[in-house]
Amino acid sequence: MSNLPALEAGGLTKRYGRTWGLRDCTFSLPAGRIAALVGPNGAGKSTLLLLAAGILRPTEGSVNVFGLDPIAEAAQVLPRIAYLDQERPLYRSFRVEEMLHYGRSLNTYWDDAASREHLSVLNIPLDARVGQLSVGQQAQVALTLCLAKRPELLLLDEPVVALDPLARERLMQVLMRTVAEHGTTVLLSSHAVADLTTVCDYLIVLSGSRVALADDLEYVLASHRLLTGGADAFDAPRGTVLIAASHGTRQHDLLVRVEEPVSDPAWRVSEPTLEEVVLAYMKAGEPKLSAAIANSAKKDGSP
């Protein structure tokens, strides 16, 4: 296993005419992690995955897969990655057996036995036509094609969309087993934040087409706190960095990143959920809110 990051971006930018797809994104995803890529619609999640897969070319900046450029060094990168689009493009007229044959003919390290075993466990018949399968079964076939390639980096764009709870659980179990057995790095985008806490150990939040947060999930939860104060408590206390604020006439609620324990008696301290942290960073990246938060942060001397 390489010591290089599985995926690394530096000033990564993509424009679609006058619209920002991504803007000045910088992060480093360690190898062997299951990373959640979250953000509101239009934040750039799909764009980032397409850039990582070498399907799109950056407008500015760089993206590297295990230290390699996915476009300039595609011959070296493509055998090491697998990308699953949220539309799960499959040949609907093909039988499942034919899809496996197609994948086997295109991939050097194809694991045919594992692909057949996986589909057998899921009771997906090889002679069924793809177009006759349920949405969940089609998603599992598409994921099987990706996993049978034995990628070192697996890129998944909204893999649980339109899946029922049982299908989501099965898909997540497959991902965890794959990482445990083969050391695969997984980057998956999803709106279902609650589903991610059980499988992901790394978090990347996109907001306003920028990376708002990229860090170890355990550290993210440990370093953020919810503060609740009365009418007299307004400014974030010393030793914290304000991320988001909600001010009422009788109560003020802050989500902060803590750099030292909060000892100010004016604030009641509690631990946030992952969803609360993610939503706070999403809101902080919105143009209308970021200016207000910045002005509030200046009051307590926060950067």
What ranges do the domains of the chain cover?
7-217, 223-299
Radius of gyration, CA atoms only, the chain: 21
The per-residue pLDDT for range 104-162, each reduced to its tens digit, is 999 988 999 989 998 998 899 999 999 999 888 898 899 899 999 999 999 999 887 76
Alpha helices by DSSP H, listed for the chain, are 45-52, 74-77, 96-106, 112-121, 135-148, 165-182, 193-196, 217-222, 274-284, 287-299
Q: Given this model, what pLDDT does residue 8 score?
A: 98
**Any residues with CB less than 8 A from the CB of 47 and at least 6 apart, and which?**
14, 21, 22, 56
Its CATH class, for the domain covering 7-217, is alpha beta
CA distance 2 to 43: 30
Q: What burial class does residue 49 get, using C-beta atoms within 10 Å of its C-beta: 0-12 exposed, 13-18 middle, 19+ buried? A: buried
CA distance 80 to 184: 10
The per-residue pLDDT for range 39-78, each reduced to its tens digit, is 988 899 999 999 999 999 999 999 999 999 999 999 999 9
Tokens of 197: 């806490």
The per-residue pLDDT for range 182-194, each reduced to its tens digit, is 889 999 998 777 7
Establish how many alpha carbons lie within 13 A of residue 116's alpha carbon, considering only the half-sphere containing its beta carbon.
10
With 80 as the cut, is the pLDDT of residue 303 above it? no
Neighbours of 112 (CB within 10 A): 12
Q: Given this model, what pLDDT does residue 263 score?
A: 87
With 70 as the cut, is the pLDDT of residue 97 above it? yes
The per-residue pLDDT for range 251-282, each reduced to its tens digit, is 889 999 999 989 888 899 999 999 999 999 98
